[in-house]
Amino acid sequence: MSSIKEGHILIIGSGLIGRSWAMVFASGGYHVKLYDIMEQQITTAMENIGKQMEELDKSGMLRGSLSIQLQVSLISGCTDLKSAVEGATYIQECTPENLELKKKLFAQLDLLASEKAVIGSSTSCLSPTKLFTGLKHVKQCIVAHPVNPPYYVPLVELVPHPKTDPATVEKTYALMKEIGQCPVKLMREIDGFALNRLQYAIISEAWRLIQAGVISPTDLDLVMSEGLGMRYAFMGPFETAHLNAEGFKSYCERYGEGIKRVVQAFGPVPEFSGDVEQKIDQALCENIPADSDHLNTRREWRDTCLSHLAKLKKEMKSN
């Protein structure tokens, strides 16, 4: 399916997200330059990528159709931004979530980028207006927000600046599809984009249920992992509703009033601190103490689960 593609992709920042993006683009047959301001960070990233790919290959979970040797050889590290930008057809910025730092970097890229390169940002919460306003190449800029880790979780939220060229959105959408990600388009920017708005709605109501003494933190997590999450891994809330009645209209007819009653009774925005925080933390730490060894072991387990789920979803794909 994949063969080696023209040009190269530039990843800026070789941390958690940058490494995962590099592997995703290499699996799609792209040459990838991984740039960082810290040379040691690139060395560590390249070692880590090699190790991750070996493990994925061993377990049959390596993405794409190219051999592991070829995929590894497609990724190279670099510390010279000017030469890295030259010939890049797509740039994915993955530096720390700091507005001033990112703005400085985009100003540098504005001087170096060609008229053709798309400049994407991985930012989780900074708006395109804050990031790209005033840039000469604003038409080529877009937020392409991944979900951690992008190698296992394919969603990418594409969020345009008001001045982003629709062609930039389409080019980025096509590229993401081509490398096996699942892009979605937001028509305009909004705080939290779509994914985090949904996530924050869930975490807020979960918090209120603990605060009201309705359920324990451990059982609350089970409501998601053994209940809602089971079907949400395969379909969203609208399709779930469609199937849970005789179509979506019938669902709204049957359950609309009840949903309104419950939602109207939701409490105020939680403080996300204090006794409830203490209670949730204590419950979590009983099973997974918050030191790096325990957290990393659990993260590895999570990533293995996600890679198996990705495989299952591929096998079950109906359209």
By CB under 6 A, name the binding residues for ligand NAI.
Answer: 12-18, 35-38, 41, 94-97, 101, 105, 122-124, 145-146, 148
- In the complex with ligand NAI, which residue's Cβ is closer, 79 or 216? 79
CA distance 81 to 101: 15
The DSSP secondary structure of 155-198, one letter per residue, reads EEEEEE-TT--HHHHHHHHHHHHHTT-EEEE-SS--TTTTHHHH
Convert 217-253 into a string of H (helix), E (strand) and C (coil): HHHHHHHHHHHHHHHHCCCCHHHHHHHHCCCHHHHHH
How far apart are CB 234 and ligand NAI at their closest, in Å? Answer: 22
How far apart are CB 147 and ligand NAI at their closest, in Å? Answer: 6
What is the residue type of 70? L
Residue 313's closest CA among 233, 226, 224, 195? 233
Using only the alpha carbons of the chain, give its radius of gyration: 21
Query: Cα 218 to the chain's mean position, in Å?
Result: 26
Both tokens assigned to 310: 């990705």
- In the complex with ligand NAI, which residue's Cβ is closer, 9 or 276? 9
How far apart are CB 146 and ligand NAI at their closest, in Å? Answer: 5
- In the complex with ligand NAI, which residue's Cβ is closer, 81 or 284? 81
Residue nearest to ligand NAI according to CB distances in the complex: 15
Please say whether the beta carbons of 108 and 91 come within 8 A.
Answer: no
How far apart are CB 57 and ligand NAI at their closest, in Å? Answer: 23
How far apart are CB 149 and ligand NAI at their closest, in Å? Answer: 8
- In the complex with ligand NAI, which residue's Cβ is closer, 75 or 209? 75
User: How many CB atoms within 10 Å of residue 220?
Assistant: 17
- In the complex with ligand NAI, which residue's Cβ is closer, 107 or 223? 107
How far apart are CB 15 and ligand NAI at their closest, in Å? Answer: 2
- In the complex with ligand NAI, which residue's Cβ is closer, 94 or 210? 94
